[in-house]
Amino acid sequence: MSDESYKYREIEPKWREYWISNRLHEARDEDPRPKYYCLDMFPYPSGSGLHVGHWRSYVLPDCWSRYKWLQGYKVLHPMGWDAFGSPAENDAIQKGIHPAVGTKRNVENFKRQLHEIGAMYDWSREINTTDPEYYKWTQWIFVKMFKVGLAYKTFMPVNWCPSCKTGIANEDVVNGRCERCGTEVTKKELNQWMLRITRYADRLLNGLEKLDWPEKVKTMQTNWIGRSEGAEVNFTAIAANGAEHPLNIFTTRPDTLFGATYMVMAPEHPLVSELTSNQQAAEVEAYIEKVKGERDVDRAAKAEKTGVFTGASALNPVNNEKIPIWIADYVLMAYGTGAIMAVPAHDERDYEFAKKFGLEIREVISSKEGIEKEAYIGEGTMVNSGRFTGMPSGQGRKAIVIWLEEKGVGRATVNYKLRDWVFSRQRYWGEPIPVVHCSINCGLVPVPEEDLPVRLPEVERYQPTGTGESPLAAVQEWVKTRCPNCGGPAERETDTMPQWAGSSWYFLRYASPHAAAALTTAEGKKWLPVDLYVGGVEHAILHLLYARFFTMFLHDAGVVDFDEPFQSLFNQGM
Ligand SMILES: [Zn+2]
Ligand SMILES: [Zn+2]
């Protein structure tokens, strides 16, 4: 477009200045009109600046906000920065510049670009997750969680990026590689902070029903939570030397218990060495060694079934039948109990395994299809199942669980795929976890709320130490402190939070971004919750799950009076 047809160099700045000087896009608490809160997923301010993909995401809510504005709403349409994270830190490592410096420069660039594009944002409510006045509240939420047992520390084999030298969450592992740098991820045992998101599993699942979200996103969340009803069944493992050990399994199909013809344990199951016979020991050890370096994701996805017989057997409580115990990499220690009953006639993986190793395949659910060619996994009439023979499988499922409970050899249970959230990072550029280790009396003590924020100290080196400790561990004058409880010598926690932390509640802060005494004020609460949330489908699982978890927790803590943050959701790229 030439200057003759549209004098954008004159027209656009003129009206932008008019909007700004008249504060047209600022949301005012005292405005009497009904509110509308339209939110974009805030960006990470990268060094390359705003690209067309950003604006593709932002243009729709920008138009929608103007539309709601014209309809007579007072519209809250804010913007901010999800500014902790590895790129700024990697930059700092390479160039020795404080990550805050690069972040500030990038934010200015993003703002300039958004300004020139004519976007309608209320810049008076801008937030930045790396601002101590902001992360004070991220830390405050953590302290609240710690006090009710939702934050805890434990030794965990975690994914470890040998290049970033930090533990990373399952979610940040993409095809077995570090999401940030692409290096192949290994395992390392570290003392990690965890968030007990599993306590909210049922609410995270049930809450989806009332949301106006794309069905596809709801399905993705549902599958991630992975709730399955079933039974825990108490088998008895009999070692090669005759010693007996209780061995529990979880199954979603207790109606197929009579079809269990062998058991499989994860190779790293702690009982394996005690159960294994002398004859099988060499083969079992070699197999365990082979599997050791493999990752769960790859193991679960393997086409070729492998495994080794242990020489031990297990007693099936429904018919007192002795069945052989195998170990195989398709059973993962992290899911269920780390052991399964194998019902090859009615489970695809067990069927393949049984075919390969010549194990018995016994039909216990009759079907037209039969089990000659493949496992039959549907419903049918129970056969070869003792007193339950002749029952429809759905009914038999309940009847067997009742029988197990009466005999004291099992019970109805619910299982989830969702795991607790690894919340520790051994990095510099993140919110310090606000906890102190009292050396003498008190153990782990949260920093008192009035002493927040715990600010990031200046460091000489941004490199991770590589020993599993963050660069903060090297700043002794910061680490050494006093116990807030007993006044004795104490050390600060040196792990920082993951980048997910600040983005799990930022939508609440826009409502009262400058409040010093509370996360959100009474006036601010009137803007909440978000009416329309717009962002990329790549955030359909984790960001939304974490944001919902934080909101539910803050609801329970009395901070907000709703437990779902985003009433409506629109995803680009669906
Ligand atoms: Zn990495
Ligand atoms: Zn103490």
85 lies in the same domain as 187: no
Q: Say if residue 519 is in the same domain as residue 446.
A: no
Quick one: 293 and 370 in the same domain? Answer: yes
Taking the CA of 484 as reference, the closest ligand is 2
- Give the C-alpha separation, 401 to 317, whole Å: 12
Closest CA to 307 of 259, 267, 347: 267
Q: Tell me what pLDDT residue 467 has.
A: 73
CB 184, CB 176: distance < 8 Å: yes
Q: Is residue 518 part of a domain?
A: yes
Q: How confident is the model at residue 199 (pLDDT cuts 50, 70, 90)?
A: very high
> Which ligand does the CA of 178 lie closest to?
1
Does some domain include residue 218? no
Assign residue 347 the CATH number of its domain.
3.90.740.10
* CA–centroid distance, residue 192 to ligand 2 (Å): 21
For ligand 1, the distance from its centroid to the CA atom of residue 517, given in whole angstroms, is 38
Say yes or no: 126 and 102 in one domain: yes
Among residues 505, 504, 510, 570, the alpha carbon closest in space to that of 122 is found at 510
pLDDT in tens, 126-138: 999 999 999 999 9
- CA of 463 from ligand 1 middle (Å) equals 13
Higher pLDDT, 419 or 323: 323
Determine the Cα angle at 32 with ends 31 and 37, to 5°.
Answer: 65
Which ligand is nearest the CA of 442, by number?
Answer: 2
Distance in angstroms (rounded) separating the CA atoms of residues 437 and 494: 10
Backbone angles phi, psi at 61, to 5 degrees: -65, -25
CATH number of domain containing 96? 3.40.50.620
User: Domain check: are 25 and 121 in the same one?
Assistant: yes
Say if 468 falls within a structural domain: yes
Tell me: ipTM over 0.90. Answer: no
Q: Which of 181, 345, 167, 175 is nearest to 255 (CA)?
A: 345
- The percentage of the chain sitting over the pLDDT mark of 90, rounded to a whole number, equals 75
Give me ligand 2 centre to Cα 559, in Å: 29
Same domain, 103 and 53: yes
User: Residue 323 C-alpha to ligand 1 middle, in angstroms?
Assistant: 44
Identity of the amino acid at 495 = D
Exposure of 303 in the CB half-sphere (CA atoms within 13 A): 0
> How remote is the CA of residue 163 from the centroid of ligand 1, in Å?
5
Q: What is the pLDDT of residues 399-423, one digit of tens each?
A: 999 999 999 999 999 989 898 998 9
DSSP 8-state symbol, 253: -
Output the average pLDDT for the chain. Answer: 92
Among candidate residues 117, 90, 119, 115, the one with its CA nearest the CA of residue 103: 90
In DSSP terms, 34 is beta-bridged to: none
81-105 residue pLDDT tens? 999 987 788 778 888 888 999 999 9
H or E segment at 315? strand 307-316
Residue 2 belongs to a domain: no
The string of DSSP letters for 150-206 reads SEEEEEEEEEEETTTTEEE-GGGEETTEETTT-PBPEEEEEEEEEE-GGGGHHHHHH
Q: Are residues 390 and 299 in the same domain?
A: yes
Distance 255 CA to ligand 2 centre (A): 54
Is 223 part of a structural domain of the chain?
Answer: no
Same domain, 272 and 407: yes
For residue 537, tell me if it sits in a domain.
yes
CA of 453 to the centre of ligand 2 (A): 20
At 373, the pLDDT band (50, 70, 90 cuts) reads very high
Q: Which helix (H) or strand (E) holds 410?
A: strand 410-415
Pair 271, 334 in one domain: yes
Q: pLDDT tens digits, residue range 246-286?
A: 999 999 999 999 999 999 999 999 999 999 999 999 999 99
The residue segments making up the domain with residue 182 are: 151-204+420-492
Residue identified by tokens 């608490």 is 29
Distance 489 CA to ligand 2 centre (A): 7
Please tell me the number of the ligand nearest to residue 161's CA: 1
Q: Residue 480 C-alpha to ligand 1 middle, in angstroms?
A: 29
Token pair in block for residue 511? 């409502």
The tally of domains found in the chain comes to: 3
How far is 386 from 395, CA to CA, in rounded Å?
15
Ligand 1 centre to CA of 46 (Å) is 17
Ligand 1 centroid from CA 466, angstroms: 12
212-230 pLDDT, tens digit each: 999 999 999 999 999 989 9
